[in-house]
Structure formats: structure tokens, C-alpha cells
Structure 1
Amino acid sequence: MNRIQAIVLTGLLWSTGVVCSVSAGDDGVVDFNREVRPILAENCFYCHGQDGNKRQGELRLDQRQAALDRRAIVPADVAGSVMLQRVHSTDADLQMPPPNSGRTLTEQQKQTLQRWIEQGAKYSEHWAFTVPQSPAVPVVRNTAWVRNPIDSFVLSRLESEGLQPAPEADRAVLIRRLSIDLTGLPPTPQEVDAFVASTDPMAWEQLVDRLLSSPHYGERMALPWLDAARYADSNGFQQDGDTWQWIWRDWLVSALNQDLPFDQLTIWQLAGDLLPDPTTEQKIASGFNRNHLLNGEGGAIPEEQRWVILFDRMETTATTWLGLTLNCAQCHDHKYDPLTQRDYYSLLDGFNRVPESGTPQYFSSRIRVAAPFLEVPSAAFLQRQEELQAAINMADEQIRAATADEFQKWQEAVQVTGALPGGDALPAALKLLLVKPAADRSAEEQSAVQSELRKLFDQKVVPSMKDRVPAIGQKEQAAGRLAEFRADQLPRVMIMSDAQPRETRILNRGDYLTPGDKVEFSTPAFLPALPADAPRNRLGFARWLVSGQHPLTARVQVNRMWQYFFGTGLVRTSEDLGVQSEYPEHLPLLDWLATEFPSRGWSLKQMHRLIVTSAAYRQSSRVTPELSLRDPENRLMARASRFRMPAMILRDWALATAGLLDVRIGGPPVYPYQPDGIWESLAITKERDFTYPASSGNDLYRRSLYTFWRRTVGPANMFDASNRQACRVRMTP
């Protein structure tokens, strides 16, 4: 069952008592966004939506006036509405959806459409495309259960369904739950005992604050960001060259620990390089959109690969911040969301200014990096570079000392260009160079010149300077060691830059070889316009996202916070809040959180604290038979949800429990144990050595966050992890 079918079947299941949601409002009015739009989006918009290239019969059902003009819908006139006639028809030539489409409407869905038309067929703008307004906090009967406004919203819904929240979980369970969520590390037995025994009424809040202040908080919260950013330590494809993008990863962990406000986190990652006098950190932050695959194959066409990267960059940015799927608009107008192909390429223009070729230009024995990049030398690198440079300087001193006398003689010889100072005599060795031009010489003079030349070239060859001065060879060797060291060891993190503006054109069917109309940067027309004084580039776009008047950004982020702490978002489809998304089970709560986020200074830590101090978060996960029947997926939040611990966290817990975990933070990736032959199987040519460089000592037991992530084959001990080849914001069970 797909997600839309799950929604529209809700009303049908209600009649059997399986779920507790009702399909119409309390007043009996059909809710267009909740009940009708999902039916139309799933069954009708593909052929009768905004994509003119695929539209059938010149009929649009995504716009009310267009549907009325074609009399597909006649408000309050069931018999006169052609859409209903076709929906109820049994004639294969007339029936809608067509029998061969693979889509059918249930009787419940047909009745929903009929009641909607009877009530006037009113359309509403998609709920996610309107700026959220903070709703009033509901008044509930069981006020003793409420710890903050989140609980009022949850409890209000439960009370309307005749349900009660689960009791609070055991304290030992709670401290483990919170530790998993905020640091990804287990509490010590002593910490568990102390919390269980505490009678301090603020013990939970104190525990929350301590874990939020832990340096391991940033490591835990970085994991979903790494999946969204498709972060890896290599480029992918056959050569799968290594990178230094771990520098961006370390910046991210630090930024999360410092609680860099989300609006700044957004601006820095999307356009840190475009800020006035950007700092090194801001430039590194822009590496978010350089965490893409990079094709270094011999047959790769640079311009084609550049467009592949551009498309990936658009999809990653849209999924992460807008919660929309834009990729189909590469080739045509979006079939469901109100996004045109022109909208797509107009937005892409802001990303089409990076001076990149699409393939790596910087090579070393193992590294493949594409410009633009930023050199970020570490203290250890600078120390080693100084040592290697010292060897070169020492050789220089030895060379100068050994060649001082010869250099003086050579200098005296070559400085003579005519008569010597104070006289008209010339050194005999230079007489040959000062004879008359050949055309003016007599035969005897010409013979004399040739005789002198023969004498010159018949002389014994003087030993080379390198043979006579060993320090010269030593210097060359030292310089070679320094060059090789810089090539392999000087970290170069790939970043963004707008140094190469390009003309952007709409690509016919998404083919870079068939450009069409020229476009200028702009944001999608169905969303609020960019302010008139905003720069028309990535910086203007990033600021627009977090302006506070954007309908999607805050909703997308708080929905993912809910997904993080409860297993499933308030909107299940956290990657897509567009027309085909699931209707939120708790829309008022979603909008309240979305307005609360910017009002709290876009502080991630404050929002996380708000969620984990709620009574809803502290519930037991025990399932009663009644809840199992009425709300099997726990969408109403009458208990705590059960969901899998991520493999990376499971490994960290195992190491910590065994007393082996090395909790050092940051640095280059490490290579823990893995079965033999996994990397080696990638070596189909001799161009690249894929021998696994297993770590030793404590590096074997670093947190999983720091495990080297090869795109062509992920870490062998992380079975449910993203492959990091594309943006991923939701793990499917």
C-alpha cells in the first residue's frame, strides 16, 4: 500500500473500527486538503494536472476554475458534474480512472467526492504552501498530565478520540532513551542508579541540560545531517578517489555543539562563501553542497557530469530545506506540485555559477578533488611541513658554501661585455666572441674562428654541479618529499564559489545538449517572492528560506525533529510535504512547533529540550490491546513509539558497554575491523589501490561517525545505513 492509499483508506477503515480517524470534520464538512486532494493527486493529477505535455482532454483538476470551465465539476450539482459521471461509469471507454491505468477508486472515495461536490466543491490551497500561523493551545481536561504545550495538543486529540496517554516509562528506561537520542552513548551504571534514586523534582530537566551540553550531542545530531548531505569520504564511481570532506563533517559537529542558530546554519551551508568577508568556517560550511559524487572515469564528459552535479545539488537542497521533490521538473512541469520547468531552472541558475568542470582536477596517489577547494592545514601538518622545509633550507646553505668560489669566478666571467674597466684590453677567452661578423671575415679569419671553436668543444667536459656538490641532490630529494607530502597530506576541502557566472537555459527534456530559453535567478512562483532588495544568488535564496515568512522551511525541520525523537514525523513523508504528502495527523501541533522554532531564535537545542521535556516523550512504549487495534502505528501518540536503534549507534553502544570506545572528537576518518576482500573487490584496474588500510590501537574503536565511508561500498557493519550517494532524510523500515 502506498502512502496516499493509506490516507484515503482511513475513512473506510473507520467503519470497521480499526483506526480512530474520521474522514470528515466534526461538522460533517468534507476537508478538501485532508480528504479530497489526496484522491485527486493519486488518481487524477498525472493526466489532469499542471503538466501541459501530459495533460489529457485539456482538463485540469488541480485548479478549481479550470475544472469548472470544463464542467468537470459543477458545485452542488452531482448529476451535472462530468467528473462524477465518469467516476461512476462502468463503460471502459468512459470510466475514470481508465481501467488500464492501474488506479481505481473505492466506493468510500467516490462518496467523498460526491459529498464534496454537494457541499460546493470548495478548493483550499495545499496546507504546506501557506505560511504557518500559531494556533491557540488547546484546553484539555487532564491538565495534570501536561508538562508543556506539546502535551496539550497531543492530549486534546487523544481526548477527542476517547483515549488516554500511556503512563510514564520507568526511570531506567527514560535515562537510556534520552541518552540514545541526545548523545548516542549509554549512561553509566552509576548515572542510571543516581537518576533512579533521585527525588529532585527537576532531575529530568537537569539530566536533559547535561546531555545537551555534552560534546557528544553534536556527534549524535550530525548523523541525520550527514545522510541529508550525502556525506562520504570518497567520490564514488570506479576510481572512487578519497576526499578531505571530513573537514566539513568536523565543522558540522562543532556548529551543532555550539547551537549555531538554524537560520545561520542554513545560510552558512548554502552560501557561506558569499557572506561579506567570509571566515574560514563559513567557507568550510558551504561544503555541504560539495558532498556529491564526482566522476573521474576516463570516458566521463566534463560538461555532462557538471549538469549531473547541478541536478543533484538542486534535489539535495530542495529535499533538505523545502521538503519537496523537484527532480521531475528537470524535464517537464511537475505533475503534482505547482512547480514549472521554468521555475526549476530559474532556481538552478543560483547554483550554476560555481567554477567547476564536473570532474576531478587535483590528483595525488589516492586523492581526487575538484576545484574550488580550500586548503586547511592542521597543526600537525604545519609542523611536518616545517621539518621538511628545514631540510631544504639546510641543503641550500651547504650549496651556497660549496659553490661560493665557483660562482664568483663565473660571475666575473659573464659580466665582461666589452672593454675592461680602465683600459681597452680584453680577456683572451672572450676574443672569439668579439670577432667580426662572418660575412665580413676573410678566409683566414674564418679558419681561425673555426679552429678556436674546435678547441673549445674538444675540451674535457667539466663535471656537473650536482656531481661536485652533493647537497644539490639532497635538496632535490627533500623538495620532492615536501611536494609529495603536500599533495597527499595537505587537506583541501571542496567548497562553493560564485566565481564563474554562467548563462542558464531550460534544458529540453533535461538534456544539456539541447538548451532552450534563457532564464534568470528567481524562486518558485507558487512560494513567496524573494524580497526586492535581496541578492539574486545563493545568499539571497538562503536568507529567503529562513525569513520567517516561508511556509515550508520551519515545518520541514520541526517535522524531522519529531521524526527523530518519535520514529515517524507528524507528516510521515518527511522528504515530501508537497501535494502527494501524507496529511498531518496533528496539523495544529505541527504549525505551533513551526512558529515556535523561529520565535526561539532558531535554536535547535531549545527545540530539542522542548520536545524531550514533554510528557508525550516520557510515555511508556507498552501497547495495550485497545491501542494495538485502534492506532497500530501510534499516529495519535498515546504511547511512546518503538523503532530501531541506528546501526552506527548500536555499534557505539556495544563498544562503550565493553569499555573499548574511544570518545575523541573529530579528525580524519578511521578504518575499523571489516572482513577481508571487500574493498579489494573494487580494484578492476591497476589505476587505484583499494587495499583496506586497517587502523590500529584506539583508532579501531572510534565512534562510527568517524568510520571511513566509501561510496562504492559502505561500512560492512552498518546494515541499515544510507549509501550516501543521494540525499536521504527518512529511513524506511
Structure 2
Amino acid sequence: MSKLVRSVAVIAWIGQFANPASASEPVPSTPEIPLEQVKFFEEHIRPLLVAKCFKCHGADKQSGELRLDSLGAMLAGGDSGASIVPGSPGESLLIEAVRYESYEMPPDGKLADDEIELLVKWVEIGAPWPGDSGDAPVRETVDKITDDDRNYWCFQPLSHPQPPQSSADHWSRTDIDRFLLARLSDAGLRPQSEADRITLIRRATQLVTGLPPTLEEVDAFLSDDSPDAYRRLIERLLDSPQRGEHLARFWLDLVRYAESDGYRADGYRPQAWRYRDYVINAFNSDKPYDLFVMEQLAGDELDPHNPQALAATGYLRAGIYEYNQRDAEGQWKTMLEDVTDTTADTFLALGLGCAKCHDHKFDPILQTDYYQLQAFFSNVGLQDETPLATPAELEKHQQQQQAWEAATADIRAELEAMEQPVLERMEKEAVKMFVPELQAMWNKPAEERTAYENQIAFLIELQVIDKWKSLDSAFKNEAKEKRDALREQLKAFDELKPSPLPTGLTVTDIAPDPSPLYVPGKSRLGEMVPAFLTVLGDEPPVIAPTEASPQSTG
């Protein structure tokens, strides 16, 4: 991996460059460049490049195969491609680097703000360079992922090696034992003597269930002289519901499971436990691991009529949430980054966090890899009350609900006439706390919003709903008495009303076509679409059309 480390290090370019000879000889103006631009370049840009850049990116040295001592060299670029895009500072790697937005150049200290602004202005006006038209072949960007990276053991498909065999092996009982014995032998070691029966049941019970054995269990095992006593002990432990509870704790830690939102308020999540129980049941039922993974990432697509598959998508809702965060766009960005980071940590065993801002410094992970993984989640919409029920249960509930609504239509109409104006006022009070741009998103009809605007609108809606929780206190005196009387009348029809369905925190596709996703500040890289890590190959994911279902995200 040392080649990767070196290549990433030199890619972090735009440092100090030095070619003093060229600095002392101003180049005459060319007819194509206005005199004021020539003056601006010679007085501000050339001295800055000489002082801060030419040492590492000039005639004598080209870190990252990059020279910055001519316009042509800048356009040709280095290992990372062209360093500037004339007229577009936001698309220029040079500007990113001096701003410390991706690379950090010069590496020994950031340029002063006024120096950065000079470079921004120069690129903005077209990067005029007297005497240099910029004619030069544009370099091809080198492959940042090497064959050594691709061949590294952890990026290889799983294999099924044959267990080592030894005629002198009288210790092994399983294939796993044979692998262990071979490694011990290679190290000049041999197995320890077998544990006594009390130690054996204690170790086995704590390993499988996380609990010590009871005195009765120890006595029963010690008094069992049958040859298969240990096998039956293990089978009993594996059948114990405590096994799933114990193993689930490790998984739930990985996926940052919590039953509250986090932050200072740390609001309770009353339905979060359904995902917890899904994980416990998955271990206790020996659910195949590939199915376990797929259900958590896309259970609603995989089996939209299965309540357990729907509950599995609670994984995507386990991140932190701040109930009163007015920066809804910033909060949505944080939520997307959280699920991206956690998915990489949990399912890929790779930390992708560094690649959020730049190519990983040590591992073969590109910044584009981070956002292509995030693109799998960029179209999700959040749902807080998804019914976790079978189609038959949903149909029965709907029929009962319709009967109750028909019987209570008049009473509910009176209540709505009283409550709706108050709810609308509360809504306005909640929404006005957001900046005008977000208020405009909220005020659009849902069908006219972009996918992204609907995602932001949901976060605003949560704060509107939180405001509505104080509805009872908004009614006083006669209005309160009238409302209370109407609510009492409703209770007379409770026998018709269906019992609430179990619900869970899940996700849904927010729109058929997601809003475009780009690497921040690097739209020149194009739209980020769902893709696997570059080091694993360039085969695109197959995203098949999904069944139309009220519980499907497709």
C-alpha cells in the first residue's frame, strides 16, 4: 500500500513553488490581454506564485507531476488533472487547495485571505498570463487505484480453503480446530489441556448468552455422563432467547442504535425498539447474513408485505436528530453523512469518513467513492409512522377505520372547524423560525417540490408537529368546554374504532428521480450516482424496478 500513500501524498499539491529566474524577467504584454490585467498579474499573481508555489511546482521540482510556472502547465495539470479552470474559481483545484477545502497548500501554512482572493480574482477574469496563451496538451489523470490495491487480501472474494490435514492430529474435532492447530504448529506451540467441566460450561454459557450458568445448570451438566453431553449443552444454549439478546448488543453498537435522538434534548423514540427486536429475532432464528444485510438496507423493496422486513429498515433511522435545529439543510447533510459513514463502518469494515473531504490518505478510497455510496441513500424520505402489518391486517384496519369515520363524521367536522385555525396559526409560528429560503420550500405544494425540497420539508414538518403538541393548552374557557364535550362524544364510538396498528421508523423513496448529488465544491466531477468502491471494480450496481406498494420505497 506504500505506493498508494506516496501517490496520495504527491496529489496533495499546490504547495510552494520556486523559479526565481523567471520572476525577475517580466514578460511583455500580448495584444490579447488588456493592460490592466497584465499589471494585475505582474504586480500580484506572479510574485505570489514565485514566493509560495514555484519551489515545489517549478522547473526544478514537480511534486505530483505538477508545474505552476506557466499557464500551459497549469492547464495540463498534474496527477489530479488541470489545476485551474479559467473563469471558474469554484471548479479549480488550485483554489480548493489554497482554501484548504480539499488539499491543504501550501502545506506549511495557509495563504492570507487577501492572497487567496487575488488568486480567485485572477482565475475569475480568465487566468491571463502575459506571453503564454496556455497552449499545451492536457495531461491524463493517473489511475489513483493501483493493481496492488486491487489485489490486497481484504478486497478479494471469499474463498473456501481446504482444512490442513495431519496424520499426527489427534486433537482436532472440527475443521476450525484443524486450521487452529496448523497455525499453532507453525508457531511452535501446542494446544492447552482441555478445560474441566465446570470451566467448560461457564465459558460456553457466557460466550453464547453473555450470562453465567445457574447452579442448577451446572449441576445438570456435571451429572450428565453421556458422550454427547457437551453437544446437547451447546444446542440448549443456541436455542436460548438470551443468545440473540447477547449477540444483538454487538450489532446494535455497530449501527449506533439508540432509543433517543441524541443532542441536549435527547427526545425519546417510542418505536425504535422494533428495530432492536428485529435484530434479536434475526440472531435467534439464524437468519442468513446476506438476507440480514439486505433487509436493513432495503427491506421495504425486498419484501414490502413483511412487517419484519419493514422494521429492519429502522437501521436507516438510527442516526442522531436535533428536534429544534433550524438549519434543516445542514441537519439533512449530517443525517446523510451519518448513514454513509455507518454503512461503510458496519457493512464494509472500512472507515470512509476521511474521503468525505478528500481522497483517503492511506486506504484506496477516493472522495468520489464516498459520495457514490451516499448516492444510494440520497433519495430516501423519512417516515415515522409506517404500519408494520400484513396486507390482510391493513385491509381489516382500513375497513374498521372507514366505518368509524362514517359514524363520527359530524362530530369530527365540528372539532376540525375549531382546531384547524389554531393548527394553522401554530404551523406559521413554527415555520417562521426558518430562513426565507426554507419557508419557500415549505410553502410549495408537495407535488411541485424537488426531491431535495421534500426531504427538507419533512424536517420542517417535524417541528410543526412538535408545535402542535401544545394544541390542548390553546383552548380556554367556553372553547375548551365545547371541545372537551365533542371529544367525549367521540369516545362513545370507541368500540367501532380499530386498535392502532404497530408502527415503526422507516424510510421511503422521496421521488422517482432523486435530486442530483455532487461532491461539494467539485461539480466538475459530474453527478454522483450509486456505485461500488472503485477498488472493487467498475461494474455498476443493478437497481431493478420495484413493486408498487404502499409500504415500498419504489
Deviations 1:324-354 (A, max 9, x none): 1111111111112222112221221110011
TM-score by length of 1: 0.41
Structure 1 residue 188 displacement after superposition: 2.1
| Alpha-carbon contact 2:295-2:309 (below 8 Å) kept | yes
Aligned twin of 1:302 = 328
Q: Which has the higher helix share?
A: 2
Aligned twin of 1:206 = 232
5+ residue gaps, structure 1: 1-36, 62-69, 71-99, 101-121, 357-370, 400-466, 540-733
- CA gap of 1:520–1:376, structure 2 versus 1, over 3 A, is closer
| Alpha-carbon contact 2:517-2:527 (below 8 Å) kept | yes
Aligned twin of 2:373 = 347
Q: Distance in 1 between matches of 2:230 and 2:161?
A: 28
Deviations 1:77-111 (A, max 9, x none): xxxxxxxxxxxxxxxxxxxxxxx9xxxxxxxxxxx
| Alpha-carbon contact 1:508-1:516 (below 8 Å) kept | no
Query: Could you tell me which of 272, 289, 296 is aligned with 1:262?
Result: 289
| Alpha-carbon contact 1:139-1:152 (below 8 Å) kept | yes
Aligned twin of 2:471 = none
| Alpha-carbon contact 1:314-1:348 (below 8 Å) kept | yes
| Alpha-carbon contact 1:372-1:497 (below 8 Å) kept | no
Q: Distance in 2 between matches of 1:515 and 1:273?
A: 35
Structure 1 residue 397 displacement after superposition: 13
Deviations 1:661-711 (A, max 9, x none): xxxxxxxxxxxxxxxxxxxxxxxxxxxxxxxxxxxxxxxxxxxxxxxxxxx
Structure 1 residue 538 displacement after superposition: 11
Any idea what SS the aligned residue of 2:354 has? helix
Query: Could you tell me which of 525, 535, 538 is aligned with 2:543?
Result: 535
Q: Distance in 2 between matches of 1:132 and 1:189?
A: 43
Q: Distance in 2 between matches of 1:499 and 1:349?
A: 13
Q: Distance in 1 between matches of 2:292 and 2:371?
A: 25
Aligned twin of 1:53 = 12
Aligned twin of 2:504 = 493
Letter in 1 for 2:519: L
Q: Distance in 2 between matches of 1:516 and 1:216?
A: 50
Q: Distance in 1 between matches of 2:9 and 2:492?
A: 62
Letter in 2 for 1:296: Y
Letter in 1 for 2:11: G
Matching of residues 501-540 of structure 1 within 5 Å:
501-508=513-520, 517-530=526-539, 534-535=542-543
| Alpha-carbon contact 2:341-2:352 (below 8 Å) kept | yes
- CA gap of 1:516–1:130, structure 2 versus 1, over 3 A, is closer
Structure 1 residue 201 displacement after superposition: 2.0
- The percentage of aligned residue pairs carrying the same residue is 32
5+ residue gaps, structure 2: 16-55, 57-61, 66-77, 79-107, 109-146, 412-477, 548-554
| 2:285 aligned with 1:274 | no
Any idea what SS the aligned residue of 1:193 has? helix
Any idea what SS the aligned residue of 1:374 has? strand
| 2:374 aligned with 1:374 | no
Comparing 124-133 with 323-332, greater Cα deviation is found at 124-133
| 2:357 aligned with 1:331 | yes
Q: Distance in 2 between matches of 1:268 and 1:123?
A: 34
Q: Distance in 2 between matches of 1:149 and 1:345?
A: 41
Structure 1 residue 259 displacement after superposition: 1.2
| Alpha-carbon contact 2:11-2:64 (below 8 Å) kept | no
| Alpha-carbon contact 2:532-2:540 (below 8 Å) kept | no
Any idea what SS the aligned residue of 2:504 has? strand
Aligned positions, number:
344
Q: Distance in 2 between matches of 1:241 and 1:314?
A: 23
Q: Which one has more relative contact order, counting CA pairs under 8 Å at least 6 apart?
A: 1
Q: Distance in 1 between matches of 2:521 and 2:409?
A: 65
Q: Distance in 1 between matches of 2:368 and 2:376?
A: 13
Query: Could you tell me which of 301, 312, 316 is aligned with 2:342?
Result: 316
Q: Distance in 2 between matches of 1:332 and 1:229?
A: 24
| Alpha-carbon contact 1:521-1:537 (below 8 Å) kept | no
Q: Distance in 1 between matches of 2:164 and 2:545?
A: 42
Q: Distance in 2 between matches of 1:397 and 1:307?
A: 42
Aligned twin of 1:476 = 487
Aligned twin of 1:148 = 174
Structure 1 residue 529 displacement after superposition: 4.6
| Alpha-carbon contact 2:10-2:63 (below 8 Å) kept | no
Structure 1 residue 146 displacement after superposition: 0.6
Deviations 1:27-52 (A, max 9, x none): xxxxxxxxxx4xx38xx82x642783
Q: Distance in 1 between matches of 2:240 and 2:305?
A: 28
Any idea what SS the aligned residue of 2:258 has? coil
| Alpha-carbon contact 1:222-1:256 (below 8 Å) kept | yes
- CA gap of 1:523–1:55, structure 2 versus 1, over 3 A, is farther
Compute the RMSD of aligned alpha carbons.
4.5
Deviations 1:564-587 (A, max 9, x none): xxxxxxxxxxxxxxxxxxxxxxxx
| Alpha-carbon contact 1:355-1:372 (below 8 Å) kept | no
Structure 1 residue 159 displacement after superposition: 1.4
Q: Distance in 1 between matches of 2:155 and 2:410?
A: 73
- CA gap of 1:59–1:53, structure 2 versus 1, over 3 A, is closer
Q: Distance in 1 between matches of 2:206 and 2:10?
A: 45
Aligned twin of 1:676 = none
Query: Could you tell me which of 299, 304, 315 is aligned with 1:288?
Result: 315
Q: Is the radius of gyration larger for structure 1 or structure 2?
A: 1
Structure 1 residue 59 displacement after superposition: 6.4
| 2:261 aligned with 1:253 | no
Deviations 1:587-614 (A, max 9, x none): xxxxxxxxxxxxxxxxxxxxxxxxxxxx
TM-score by length of 2: 0.54
- CA gap of 1:340–1:531, structure 2 versus 1, over 3 A, is closer
- CA gap of 1:192–1:471, structure 2 versus 1, over 3 A, is same
Q: Distance in 2 between matches of 1:51 and 1:304?
A: 32
Q: Distance in 2 between matches of 1:136 and 1:236?
A: 48
